[in-house]
Amino acid sequence: MVGSRTCAHLLQSAAGVMIFAEPRFATAILEETDLAGMADAHQELERVVSDLLSRRPDIKRLFLVGSCPSEVIKLDLATMAKKLSKKYYPSVNVVNFSGSGIETTFTQGEDACLEAVIRDLPNDDKTQLAVLGALPDVVQDQMLRLLTDMGIEDVLVLPQQTAGAPAGVGKNTHFICAQPFLGAAYDEMVRRGANAIHAPFPFGANGTTEWLAAIAKRFGVEQDKFDAVTAGPKARAERAIAKVSETLTGRSIFFFPDSQLEVPLARFLSDECGMKLTEVGSPYIHRALVGEDLKLIEHNAVISEGQDVEKQLDRVTACNPDLTVCGLGLANPLEAQGFSTKWAIELVFSPIHFYEQAADLAGLFARPIVRSDLLNVGGAI
Amino acid sequence: MKLSVWTYEGPPHVGAIRVATGMKKVHLVLHAPQGDTYADLLFTMIERRNHRPPVTYTTFQARDLGSDTATLFKDACLEAYERFKPDLLLVGASCTAELIQDDPGGLAEALGLPVPVVALELPSYQRKENFGADETFYQIVRKLAHPVERSSEITCNLIGPTALGFRHRDDIVEITKLLNEVGVQVNVCAPMHATPDDITNLGRAHFNVLMYPETGETACRHMERTLGLPFTKTVPIGVSATKEFVEEVLGIIGRSAGESSIASRLPWYSASVDSTYLTGKRVFIFGDGSHVMTAARIAKEEIGFDVVGVGCYNREMARPVRAMAKEFGLDALITEDYLEVEAAIADLSPELILGTQMERHIGKRLGIPCAVISAPVHVQDFPARYSPQMGAEGANVIFDTWVHPLVMGLEEHLLTMFREDFEFSDTAGPSHHAAHSPNQEIVDQPASVTASDQGANVIWLSDAEKELRKIPFFVRGKARRNTEKYATDRGVAQISIETLYEAKAHYAR
């Protein structure tokens, strides 16, 4: 990250204890002298990169992540990335994208990063399936097993686990997103001539089935084979969800905008867990991406795009939901007012996709409700 | 440009938020891009506050850049005023807004709000969190505090505690109790718990207690000049310091400094024979200047440790920390680079680290016990239980906290006597910290780049390796590195038992 002390402090606060596990990220903190002259800043960045790469020679791909300060002073990180790529060719590939708060919100960072990665991929006209979106390893393996069992062998998962592994995209690539916040990456794939597959996102038993079915249809998988592969895990997921959703059925839920996961998650909670949607807020709604999920919930929820936190808080108070999904800056203050909350960030880092995680996903929402029923000492201070 | 993963301090606007959040009826409008709202969760999660910090962010976006941001700022000010009706409005800019050069002070002034407005200058690219808190509080005092009539009884102000301060909540209670015992009432505690109205009444007090120099010193100096309020210079952490603090207070209020007794259990606990094994334990101390200086004194004079290294991350305190280090015969480590701290710790191989959450993790990596004495800290150091650092009870808390991570005396003997017995293997670590047992591989081979690279081509003969394992685990890492260096320097390719003891003799002082 090329930014200020604020950026470093944000990463540190958000990464929590992970910050102590020698993570492979760091901030080049801009200092007063860097703001004085631009040529200077470029030289400084070269020095910092050179120090870093000599300390960590295992790094094969270096992302220069733009921040609000670097963008406001118009530090040209894209040109720097090209220059550095040339300098370190072929051992290190340097890529630039923006993660600034003035341009991106939370998970849009992954989107901007993936878009930059796709832009660098060579052309390849072989027929293949590309799945977009970083997933926990265990979930990705489950997904690949299901696809293989349906007879779809040639699957490119983006991002790949190792930088520089062979990959290419082209006009015979059919792609589907596993995450709803990949609007820019989606658009980049379309620009590269790849063909989008549209489906609800793979949350819950129905979501996963629909998602797989859309791929199966595109790749001409026969219905019998599809049923044979999915019937077992689908039934298992439904059984598991049924148990957890006893707590959720009939309860109302309010989503603050955070990660763009809100629309598909709301679809899962209303469709498969029987929850009542009040408001579904999302920082940004990419209709081509979440359209299928949106269709299923539009009729029974207020959908809001963007944010005005004070007004949204007023609306929470007005509709008094049983569960409020929000960020950590709001969760405790709302709990102290007697609202049950589910902090949203956990939904990005927990394994929640596909059949085997369906009940865990429902469980994440059931837990705060179970807990507030369980505790009997009074919560507010 | 400086590459950094850990930062000991946040940017200065976080310091401003700490002051605003500590106070009541104050609202801060911060000109900042949308991502900067992350700072809220420090207060709602780490300090577990039950309300949102009183901060409105303008959350400008890329499309707003240009003349629009000034309008955005004015609208945010008006809306924040209408919604929260504060008695005092603070306005400032975060690092990005500093670059776009809207003038929050001028813009807010032009709105003609019916409450005082304090404009904050927070130089994000030069200064840090503690400066931000100190400066913000100073500006508030400068704006609102004016000479008023002294209270008839003897009163003082408590200056310096803020939101997100390490044990500030309980230190306030403990110091209030201590002052009450010598007949001094608290007039105002600020910034924590104070309203803007309280700030106007600071002058009623007879003197100020400067609890935390990092966040209150500039305001105290200002009040000394403009309100004629002397302020205390001793930070009452530790038994001796608390005694001196009481004497200082008595001196200020013109009472004779009699023999003040501090009802702490630390002196007896420390004197009891159970504590004998603590004598000369080698301790490394790092954190903010004030907590480091008080900790060093307690370590040396009240518990009997051997202080082998001290340092602080806030340059503002560099001078006094250096001076104190000199008295200990040490060179202070003044740095905000955790890699330097880690290298210093690895090199010294202390038996105990007193530091921040960063040092706690360094200690975990190196297999060295650690107790936390200073911010920055994680959520567990905002405890539910009463746990001050200051005063008599503070000294009790400190004794328990520092001794707890150490292997207990008898246990230490057993580990040395029966080191090859499976039940007493010293790789197990303290018996009461099952989860924190040091990983022997890490203890023996710290991942730092200090000396292990040089030793990489020296071979340990198995007898020597075995002998090395008989050396107490807390000095083993150092012994290994010293021996390797000794061998490399003399071109010895294989380390035998002989080499090991030659090296030991060589490095003995």
Tens-digit pLDDT profile for residues B300-324: 999 999 999 999 999 999 999 999 9
B33 neighbourhood in chain A, CB within 8 Å: 68, 100-102
B48 neighbourhood in chain A, CB within 8 Å: 332
DSSP letter at B57 equals E
> Can you tell me the distance from the alpha carbon of B59 to that of B35, in angstroms, rounded to the nearest whole number?
8
In this prediction, residue B448 carries a pLDDT of 37
Q: Which two tokens stand for residue B279?
A: 């004598």
> Can you tell me the distance from the alpha carbon of B211 to that of B193, in angstroms, rounded to the nearest whole number?
14
Read off the pLDDT of residues B396-441 as tens digits, 9 standing for 90 and up.
999 999 999 887 666 766 666 666 665 555 666 666 665 555 444 4
Read off the pLDDT of residues B353-362 as tens digits, 9 standing for 90 and up.
999 999 998 9
Determine which one of B68, B75, B197, B274 is catalytic.
B274
In this prediction, residue B455 carries a pLDDT of 47
Please list, residue by residue across A63-96, b when 16 or more beta carbons sit within 10 angstroms of its beta carbon and e when fewer do.
bbbbbbbbbbeebebeebbeebbeebeeebbbbb
Q: Is B64 a catalytic residue?
A: no
In this prediction, residue B262 carries a pLDDT of 85
Q: What is the mean pLDDT of residues A264-288?
A: 96
Compute the mean pLDDT over every residue in chain A, rounded to the nearest whole number. 93
Query: Strand, helix or coil at B6?
Result: coil
Alpha-carbon distance B501 to nearest alpha carbon in chain A (angstroms) = 34
> Can you tell me the distance from the alpha carbon of A234 to that of A354, in angstroms, rounded to the nearest whole number?
9
> Can you tell me the distance from the alpha carbon of A88 to that of A94, in angstroms, rounded to the nearest whole number?
8
Band (B176; pLDDT cuts 50, 70, 90): very high
Contact call for A101 and B36, based on CB within 8 A: yes
In this prediction, residue A15 carries a pLDDT of 78
Q: Which two tokens stand for residue A37?
A: 């002259």
Q: What is the mean pLDDT of residues B108-113?
A: 94
Pick from B14, B61, B125: CB nearest A30: B125
Query: Strand, helix or coil at A75?
Result: coil
Read off the pLDDT of residues A176-235 as tens digits, 9 standing for 90 and up.
999 999 999 999 999 999 999 999 999 999 999 999 999 999 999 999 999 999 999 999
Contact call for A380 and B50, based on CB within 8 A: yes
In this prediction, residue B332 carries a pLDDT of 97
Beta-strand pair B26-31/B370-372: unpaired
Contact call for A6 and B65, based on CB within 8 A: no
Put simply, whether A47 touches B (Cβ < 8 Å) is yes
Residue B250, classified by CB atoms within 10 Å of its CB into exposed (0-12), middle (13-18) or buried (19+), is middle
Pick from A19, A30, A310: CB nearest B5: A19
In this prediction, residue B434 carries a pLDDT of 54
Read off the pLDDT of residues A53-105 as tens digits, 9 standing for 90 and up.
998 888 999 999 999 999 999 899 999 999 999 999 999 999 999 999 998 88
> Can you tell me the distance from the alpha carbon of B182 to that of B179, in angstroms, rounded to the nearest whole number?
5
Say yes or no: ipTM exceeds 0.85. Answer: yes
Q: What is the mean pLDDT of residues A229-253?
A: 95
Band (B452; pLDDT cuts 50, 70, 90): very low
Band (B466; pLDDT cuts 50, 70, 90): confident
In this prediction, residue B426 carries a pLDDT of 60
Which of A132-141, A337-346, B342-351, B442-451 has the least mean pLDDT? Answer: B442-451
Q: Using an 8 Å Cβ cutoff, are A12 and B41 in contact?
A: no
> Can you tell me the distance from the alpha carbon of B30 to that of B77, in angstroms, rounded to the nearest whole number?
9
Question: Measured between alpha carbons, how far is residue B376 from residues B174, B357, B360, B381 in Å?
Answer: 22, 6, 11, 9
pTM: 0.90
Higher per-residue confidence, B320 vs A33: B320
Query: Strand, helix or coil at A323?
Result: strand
Contact call for A332 and B94, based on CB within 8 A: no
Alpha-carbon distance A238 to nearest alpha carbon in chain B (angstroms) = 35
Contact call for B126 and A32, based on CB within 8 A: yes
In this prediction, residue B259 carries a pLDDT of 64
Q: Which two tokens stand for residue A16?
A: 């929590």
pLDDT at B469 over 70: yes
Q: Using an 8 Å Cβ cutoff, are B48 and B21 in contact?
A: no
Alpha-carbon distance A297 to nearest alpha carbon in chain B (angstroms) = 28
Beta-strand pair B207-210/B333-334: unpaired
| Secondary-structure breakdown of chain A: helix, strand, coil percentages, each rounded to the nearest 5 | 50, 15, 35
Higher per-residue confidence, B354 vs A166: B354
Question: Measured between alpha carbons, how far is residue A87 from residues A40, A49, A83 in Å?
Answer: 18, 11, 6
pLDDT at B184 over 50: yes
In this prediction, residue B507 carries a pLDDT of 79
pLDDT at B467 over 70: yes
Half-sphere CA count of B181, side-chain side, radius 13 A: 16
> Can you tell me the distance from the alpha carbon of A156 to that of A173, in angstroms, rounded to the nearest whole number?
9
> Can you tell me the distance from the alpha carbon of A341 to that of A378, in angstroms, rounded to the nearest whole number?
16
B4 neighbourhood in chain A, CB within 8 Å: 8, 26-29
Q: Distance between alpha carbon B67 and the CA centroid of its chain, in Å?
A: 41
pLDDT at B290 over 90: yes
Alpha helices, H only, B90-238: 95-100, 104-110, 129-144, 168-181, 196-200, 213-226
- Please, which residues bridge with residue A255 across strands? A280, A325
Put simply, whether A17 touches B (Cβ < 8 Å) is yes
pLDDT at A275 over 90: yes
Read off the pLDDT of residues B29-76 as tens digits, 9 standing for 90 and up.
999 998 899 999 999 999 999 999 999 999 998 888 877 889 999 999
Beta-strand pair A27-29/B55-57: unpaired
B34 neighbourhood in chain A, CB within 8 Å: 101-102, 105
In this prediction, residue B450 carries a pLDDT of 37
Handedness of CA A142, A147, A148, A153 (dihedral sign): negative
pLDDT at B220 over 50: yes
In this prediction, residue A78 carries a pLDDT of 95
Alpha-carbon distance A303 to nearest alpha carbon in chain B (angstroms) = 21
DSSP letter at A27 equals E
Band (A380; pLDDT cuts 50, 70, 90): low
